[in-house]
Structure 1
Amino acid sequence: MKTLAGTGGLIRLILRRDRIVLPLWIVLLCAISISYVQTYGDLFPTPESRLKYASNAGFITLYGELSGTSLGEFVTWRLGFVPVMIGLISLLTVIRHTRVEEETGRRELLGASVVGRHAQLAAALLATFGANLVLGVLLAFGMHSQDLPTAGSIALGIEFAGTGWMFAAVGAVAAQLTASAGTARGIAISVLGAAYVLRAAGDTSAHADGPLAWLAWLSPIAWAQRIHPYGANRWWLAILVLAATVVLVAVALYLSVRRDVGAGLLPARLGPAEGRLGSPLALAWRLHRGLLAAWTVGFALLGLLFGGVAKGVGDMMRDDASVREVFQRLGGAAGLIDSYFAGVMTIVGLIASAYAVQATLRLRTEEASGRAEPVLATATSRLRWAGSHLAFSLLGPALALLAAGVAEGIAYGLAIGDVGGQLPRLIGASLAQLPAVWVLAAIAIALFGLFPRLSPVAWAGPAICLLIGLVSGGVQLDDWVRGISPFSHLPQLPGGSTSAGPLIALLAIAAVLGAAGLAGLRRRDMPVG
């Protein structure tokens, strides 16, 4: 078909561009998942201990319901957040190789050669589908090598790969709706977040015999998880996931022919007929305000979710000595309920670091798109222009973390009747994540200022910290490996002791990296394509 001409060449180009990132996340996610078999098999050797650990509203909210007490079912349940990560990586990959290519003008250059109308979209989808398939196959072989049943291992591979396929297709649809890659990412991530919340709400309600259990069936994440590998092995749900993927791909192809190259189906909002932006900061506010509002609301909802289930987690840990011992090993904080909140705060901080990196990389987007040149052609200096955006990458996460801490404090305080006592503790614990967040933001600043073409590598910072956190949750890592993550140097709050030394060191590292990036920005050429 002429509309698919050149697809093979574009796939090779995508694989060449992602030759490091693509194998890295596949191998790491497989290794983490396979390592859980022995780790959690040793921690919970009996069905009774597994059931006690998993029969809690807090864990059901985070990971879903435990389908059975066999080792394979328990490990699959404990890996319940990994499909969400796979879905996120998949949709971002598709948007990067479709909408970003159009936004930067590279798609138009490729279109001048022998490349069909649908070739770019097809290449992005096929490359992402292939990566997820490789992940699923490696995971199935790896789980089977741990003496787990063959059928269940295949079902687990299908669950993970199918989730990636489905949200890759979601990213493809989002890429057709808007001319902005940032907005496309926002739409697709919002769909992923809504799917996770529906799954969490439905499973939590079902555990309490509530009336909202049906909500989980509205979530494609729940469809994949309810395949129940190593248990029922519901293959018909795998077919449902595949059918949904096919429908979404068809929708994306249909929408792509109804728009112009470089444009989106949703019309861009027009500005006022007359108006004036008096400063670079006012322009940055116009560009960042939507992102800031979305992240702040999202963090508040996340705080309500974590705070709302905290009482149930605390009750379970107090009632069972074996579970209490495991939590103290995994969480590292002295208090039982504080151990849960310390782990939650790390998750919230990691998410905040992703926001910080995204806001920082807006500088690179403005430069690459040519929109920075008219601003810098005025009396505005480079540092003043950069500082207007960095105000949001540094203070925006602080506002989002504050919203999460307030929501957690109110939700948990109302549950135990102590809002006044819990609110300041949880706000402080949430804001204590800021030094590590700022270190990752400073890495993005340094890359943008010194090596602008490598700016997207800044996303490796949150990814590496997340992987270290996942692995250290069940495996005892060497101190130097854990020390790579700035979050490992933060105090375990609430409940843990606080030392100013590590916080000052992290702030100093952030200041040095940020200063180096700004110094590089002053001296290098602009724009760098």
Structure 2
Amino acid sequence: MSALTGTPRLARLVLRRDRIRLAIWVLGTPLLGYALAGSVAGIYPDEAARQGYATTSASSLVARAFNGPIAGTDLGAVVVAETYVTLALIVALLSSFAVVRHTRQDEETGRAELLGASVVGRYAPLTAALTVVVAANVLAAALLLLALVGAGLPLAGSVAAAGAIGGVGIAFTAVAAVTAQLSVTARGANALAAAVVGLSFVLRAAGDVLGEQSADGTRVRSAWPSWLSPLGWGNQVRAFGDEQWWVLALPVLLLAAGVALAYALAERRDLGAGLIAPRRGPATGAAGLLSPAGLAWRTQRGTLLGWAVGVAVLGLSMGVAADEFNAMIDANPAAAEAINAMGGGDNLLDAYLAAMLGLFALTIGAYVVQALLRVRGDETDGTLEAALATAVGRTRWLGTQVLAAVLGAVALLLLAGLTTGLGYGLVTGDPLGSAVELAGAALLRLPALLVVAGVVTALFGLLPRRSVALSWAVLLVFLLLGQLGAVLELPQAALDLSPYTHVPSVPAVDPVALPLVVLTAVAALLLAAGVAGFRRRDVPS
């Protein structure tokens, strides 16, 4: 028996287990790319508009940091500048989590040990996971290519752009293959992979900020830090500009090196063990862990801290970028219409700030989903049964978890408003007043997040086995409706499906109490349904 025996059968098992996730990933990536390309084409319809965008983006350090370098004034170059970072981050995280799910998580749950008792080689589980994830990236890139060509973009640039996105996924497939060997837990392996994604983003942003602007002001050549980042490699392909095709080989080389390293590390450890030894805990637990509230805080504080750092950095950046907003609007009135559609109101600067706060609320919705889905993880790994065997009732336990997630969302909303206001106020000369005003405006988005929490809780209580996939799917629908609904001119009935649609776009418009009260009532009903379902079903279920 070779080390790869059983790989095809395990690959089929991976496909069977992840058929829904993979379908959403492979089909969602090109659909999102097509929608974004269409919206960008509507915002920048002619050469003059794209010239203004390219000049503004190339000269703006904030735009370089968050969108990457602009490769010219072609429509395709603008589409890449507006969409690459978003798609690349999504693909990087999806690839990383998929590899960990079918390697380290299987070891943690004992599934790998059961499979290993059959005719399965040492490297077969890892190879099967890598094969499926790489194939998913290749297929998603191929469909993205068709989507970009279907949107009217040139073939050569579309091949380069799709290859860049697929290359990012392949690169982080290799990263996750290594992190899965290092950590004892799937959560730790995912955290390490996400940390590499974050570091790659920082390196890419640093290289783009330090890059050199062309003489005509419409292009940027990134500095050397970008070449240290797999996310930066996609920018260096320079799709729809002077394409550098050889850069597409870098993710393949990283994959080969990562797979070789992962095989070597797997050979040197026991099944279920990791190369990074778990830290010893204290001899006695803290008194707070005796209560459900203390336990919820202990399990969620690390996640909340990571989110807080990201929100603070983005908030300051978005606030400072408001100073450059007027220049962008002067260069492109169509962009002003898009911002106004997202933020509402007559004052375009207030509309920009409202749109940024709305984006933060959508993003923090992912934190709410992530925090609340820990309850499903506790149920599947047996932790919940141990907790309910004590004097803690089901309602109290679930209510505490929901309360912890909601309080975390409140803290992140406040932080988003404070940091955005602080960044904006440092430019305008009134940091305290701006911070307080935008913190209050951010808190008005809380009812929408309560609805998100209610949806996740209801799914956990009523449809536990499908709660994870459905929760993320619902959030994705809210995200697409919130970010693209107005730009794509979707019917109001579709936009109304998202709770974010009903939140007043303060500070662009005056606050209105009725929709906030209705959203809170809807959230309460969903939470009640989830708690009732949880009390009546089996655990585990």
TM-score by length of 2: 0.91
2:107 is the counterpart of 1:65: no
- Selected match of 1:441 from 453, 476, 484: 453
Bigger Cα displacement from structure 2, 249-258 vs 107-116:
249-258
Task: For 1:425-436, list aligned pairs within 5 A.
Answer: 425-436=437-448
Q: Residue 463 of structure 1 aligns to which amino acid in structure 2?
A: L
Report the CA distance between 1:272 and its aligned residue: 1.6
* Native 8 Å contact 2:52 2:331 kept in 1: no
* Native 8 Å contact 2:344 2:508 kept in 1: no
Q: Which residue of 1 aligns with 2:538?
A: 525
Report the CA distance between 1:79 and its aligned residue: 1.4
Q: Residue 10 of structure 1 aligns to which amino acid in structure 2?
A: L
Distance 1:351 1:248, change over 3 A: farther
Bigger Cα displacement from structure 2, 383-392 vs 66-75:
383-392
Distance 1:216 1:430, change over 3 A: farther
Q: Which residue of 2 aligns with 1:190?
A: 195
Bigger Cα displacement from structure 2, 216-225 vs 158-167:
216-225
Task: For 1:246-261, list aligned pairs within 5 A.
Answer: 246-261=256-271
SS at the partner of 1:274? coil
Q: Residue 266 of structure 2 aligns to which amino acid in structure 1?
A: S
SS at the partner of 1:4? coil
Q: Which residue of 2 aligns with 1:410?
A: 422
Q: Which residue of 2 aligns with 1:283?
A: 295
Q: Residue 236 of structure 1 aligns to which amino acid in structure 2?
A: W
Q: How far apart in 1 are the matches of 2:155 and 2:459?
A: 45
Bigger Cα displacement from structure 2, 251-260 vs 36-45:
36-45
Report the CA distance between 1:224 and its aligned residue: 0.8
Q: Residue 524 of structure 1 aligns to which amino acid in structure 2?
A: R
Distance 1:103 1:463, change over 3 A: farther
Q: How far apart in 2 are the matches of 1:433 and 1:515?
A: 21
SS at the partner of 1:79? helix
Residue by residue, what CA displacement relative to the aligned partner does 1:171-214 show, whole Å, maximum 9, x if unpaired?
A: 22222222222232222222222322332343234378999944
Report the CA distance between 1:422 and its aligned residue: 0.8
Q: How far apart in 2 are the matches of 1:51 and 1:260?
A: 58
Q: How far apart in 2 are the matches of 1:278 and 1:171?
A: 35
2:496 is the counterpart of 1:492: no
Task: For 1:96-115, list aligned pairs within 5 A.
Answer: 96-115=101-120
Q: Which residue of 2 aligns with 1:482?
A: 495
- Selected match of 1:503 from 511, 516, 529: 516
Residue by residue, what CA displacement relative to the aligned partner does 1:4-38 show, whole Å, maximum 9, x if unpaired?
A: 22221122122222222322232232123224445
2:153 is the counterpart of 1:148: yes
Task: For 1:152-231, list aligned pairs within 5 A.
Answer: 152-206=157-211, 213-231=223-241
Distance 1:320 1:350, change over 3 A: closer
Task: For 1:276-315, list aligned pairs within 5 A.
Answer: 277-315=289-327
Bigger Cα displacement from structure 2, 132-141 vs 380-389:
380-389
Q: How far apart in 2 are the matches of 1:294 and 1:32?
A: 27
Distance 1:325 1:526, change over 3 A: closer
Q: How far apart in 1 are the matches of 2:305 and 2:103?
A: 26
Q: Which residue of 1 aligns with 2:384?
A: 372
Distance 1:211 1:240, change over 3 A: closer
Report the CA distance between 1:320 and its aligned residue: 5.2
Q: Which residue of 1 aligns with 2:435?
A: 423
Structure 1 stretches lacking a partner, 5+ long: none
Residue by residue, what CA displacement relative to the aligned partner does 1:312-360 show, whole Å, maximum 9, x if unpaired?
A: 1234325654543443245434322222222222222222111111111
Q: How far apart in 2 are the matches of 1:313 and 1:258?
A: 54
Over aligned residue pairs, what C-alpha RMSD do you find?
2.4
Q: How far apart in 2 are the matches of 1:283 and 1:78?
A: 41
Across the two proteins, how many residue pairs are aligned to each other? 528
Q: Which residue of 2 aligns with 1:239?
A: 249
Q: How far apart in 2 are the matches of 1:13 and 1:214?
A: 42
* Native 8 Å contact 1:224 1:241 kept in 2: no
Q: Residue 292 of structure 2 aligns to which amino acid in structure 1?
A: P
Q: Residue 193 of structure 1 aligns to which amino acid in structure 2?
A: G
Q: How far apart in 2 are the matches of 1:493 and 1:198?
A: 34
Report the CA distance between 1:309 and its aligned residue: 2.0
Task: For 1:319-358, list aligned pairs within 5 A.
Answer: 321-358=333-370
Bigger Cα displacement from structure 2, 143-152 vs 392-401:
143-152
Report the CA distance between 1:311 and its aligned residue: 1.2
Q: How far apart in 1 are the matches of 2:213 and 2:157?
A: 28
Q: How far apart in 2 are the matches of 1:326 and 1:515?
A: 38
Residue by residue, what CA displacement relative to the aligned partner does 1:36-81 show, whole Å, maximum 9, x if unpaired?
A: 4454334323323112124232433331121011122222222122
* Native 8 Å contact 1:311 1:415 kept in 2: yes
Q: How far apart in 1 are the matches of 2:337 and 2:387?
A: 58
Q: Which residue of 2 aligns with 1:75?
A: 79
Structure 2 stretches lacking a partner, 5+ long: 215-219
* Native 8 Å contact 1:32 1:470 kept in 2: no
SS at the partner of 2:19? coil
Q: Which residue of 1 aligns with 2:468?
A: 456
Q: How far apart in 2 are the matches of 1:248 and 1:481?
A: 44
- Selected match of 2:527 from 514, 517, 522: 514
TM-score by length of 1: 0.93
Q: How far apart in 2 are the matches of 1:302 and 1:229?
A: 26
* Native 8 Å contact 2:96 2:173 kept in 1: yes
Q: Which residue of 2 aligns with 1:129?
A: 134
2:104 is the counterpart of 1:88: no
Distance 1:284 1:213, change over 3 A: same
2:46 is the counterpart of 1:46: yes
* Native 8 Å contact 2:343 2:508 kept in 1: no
Report the CA distance between 1:227 and its aligned residue: 0.5
Report the CA distance between 1:439 and its aligned residue: 1.6
Q: How far apart in 1 are the matches of 2:338 and 2:3?
A: 56
Q: Which residue of 2 aligns with 1:30?
A: 30
Q: Which residue of 1 aligns with 2:217?
A: none
SS at the partner of 1:20? helix
Report the CA distance between 1:289 and its aligned residue: 2.1
Bigger Cα displacement from structure 2, 369-378 vs 326-335:
326-335
* Native 8 Å contact 1:32 1:471 kept in 2: no
Q: Residue 351 of structure 2 aligns to which amino acid in structure 1?
A: S
* Native 8 Å contact 1:333 1:342 kept in 2: no
Residue by residue, what CA displacement relative to the aligned partner does 1:433-465 show, whole Å, maximum 9, x if unpaired?
A: 222222222222112222221121212122222
Distance 1:227 1:149, change over 3 A: same
Distance 1:42 1:405, change over 3 A: closer
